[in-house]
Amino acid sequence: MSATLFEYVLRIGDDSLILGHRLSEWCGRGPILEEDIAMTNIALDLVGQATNLYDYAAEIEGKGRNADQLAFLRFDREYKNLLLVEQPNGDFGMTMMRQFLFDAFRKLFFESLEQSSDHQLRAIASKSLKETKYHLRHSSEWVIRLGDGTEESKIRVQEALDTLWRYTNELFYQDDIDQELIQNGIAPDLNHLRKDWENLVSNVLNEATLEIPNNNWQHQGGRKGFHSEHLGKILAELQYMQRAYPNMEW
Amino acid sequence: MVTESEIWMYLEEVADPEIPVLSIVDLGVVQKIEILDLSCEVTITPTYSGCPAMKLIETQIIEKLIEKGIKNVKVNLVLSPAWTTDWISEKGKKKLLTYGIAPPVDEVDKSVLFAEPIVVPCPRCSSEKTRLVSQFGSTACKAHYQCKDCLEPFDYFKCLR
pLDDT digits (tens, 9 = 90+) for A189-240: 999 999 999 999 999 999 999 999 987 789 999 999 999 999 999 999 999 9
3-state secondary structure of A79: coil
> What residues make up the domain containing A84?
2-210+220-244
Residue A3: count of CB within 10 angstroms of its CB: 10
In a domain, A215, yes or no: no
Q: Verify that B97 and B54 share a domain, yes or no.
A: no
Other C-beta atoms closer than 10 Å to the C-beta of A204 total 22
The answer to whether the CB of B24 falls within 8 A of the CB of B44 is yes
CA distance A93 to A125: 28
Q: What is the mean pLDDT of residues A46-57?
A: 97
Of B79, B110, B140, the CB nearest to A123: B79
Nearest-Cα distance to chain B for A22, in Å, is: 16
Strand B40-44 relative to strand B73-77: parallel, antiparallel, unpaired?
parallel
Q: For residues B140 and A226, which has the higher predicted lDDT (pLDDT)? A: A226
What pTM was computed for the model?
Answer: 0.93
How many domains, chain B?
Answer: 2
Q: Are residues B73 and B104 in the same domain?
A: no
Within 10 angstroms of residue B92's Cβ, the number of other Cβ atoms is 22
For the stretch A134-143, pLDDT in tens is 999 999 999 9
Beta-carbon contacts of residue A132 (< 8 Å; ≥ 6 apart): A103, A106, A107, A110
A36: domain CATH number? Answer: 1.20.1260.10
Question: For residue B40, what are the contacts with CB-CB under 8 A and spacing of at least 6?
Answer: B2, B7, B33, B34, B65, B70, B72, B73, B74
Using CB atoms, pick whichever of A47, A120, A137 lies closest to residue B50. A47
Sort out which chain A residues have CB atoms less than 8 A from B161's CB and list them.
130
Percentage of chain B beyond pLDDT 90 is: 70
Residue B118 lies in domain: 92-157
Count of CB atoms situated within 10 Å of the CB of B152: 16
Q: Are residues B10 and B77 in the same domain?
A: yes
Range A152-177 average pLDDT: 97
Q: What is the pLDDT of residue B111?
A: 47
B103 and B135 together in one domain: yes
With bands split at pLDDT 50, 70 and 90, how would you rate the model's confidence at B138?
A: confident
> How confident is residue B115, by pLDDT bands cut at 50, 70 and 90?
low
Using pLDDT thresholds of 50, 70 and 90, give the confidence band for residue A148. very high
Question: Are both B75 and B15 inside the same structural domain?
Answer: yes
Query: How high is the mean pLDDT of chain B?
Result: 90
A95 contacts chain B (CB < 8 A) = no
Residues B79 and B9 placed together within one structural domain of the fold? yes
Question: What ipTM goes with this model?
Answer: 0.86
CATH number of the domain at B79, please.
3.30.300.130
The helix (H) or strand (E) run that includes residue A206 is helix A194-207
- State the average pLDDT over residues B100-123: 77
